[in-house]
Amino acid sequence: MTTETLHWTAVCAASDILPDTGVCALVEGVHVAIFHVAQARQFFAIDNIDPKAQASVLSRGLVGSLGDRIVVASPLYKNHFDLRNGECLESPEHSVRAHAVRVQEGRVQVALA
């Protein structure tokens, strides 16, 4: 699937997400965490529901890196989720989906995986 055939949903202004923080948005009924990562000069989107806690909290986690991986640490159980692919580094069975994200005309847009 190309970026032209994805269904994009505008979420917020890019300037609304401070560097190295995340926000939560409801995209087509799915809780999505969107992060602005300063070191990568990029935005990332993953499911916001922590699979272990079943709580919508990943957008409030700490953004950082482990080796060459850009991650967010869950604020509840401290599991690390790779922002590129949603993999849970400590427990791969708790991985989440990663979603396509882009910025167009200053607006962050998400397309569900």
Q: Tell me how far apart the alpha carbons of residues 113 and 25 are, in angstroms, rounded to a whole number.
A: 15
Domains and CATH numbers, the chain: 9-111 (2.102.10.10)
C-alpha separations of 23 from 1, 27, 83 in Å: 26, 12, 14
In this predicted structure, the answer to whether residue 1 has a pLDDT above a threshold of 90 is no
In this predicted structure, the answer to whether residue 2 has a pLDDT above a threshold of 90 is no
pLDDT for 13-72, tens place per residue?
A: 999 999 999 999 999 999 999 999 998 899 999 999 999 999 999 999 999 999 999 999
CA-CA-CA-CA dihedral for 104, 108, 111, 112, to nearest 10 = 170
| H helices, E strands: number in the chain | 0, 11
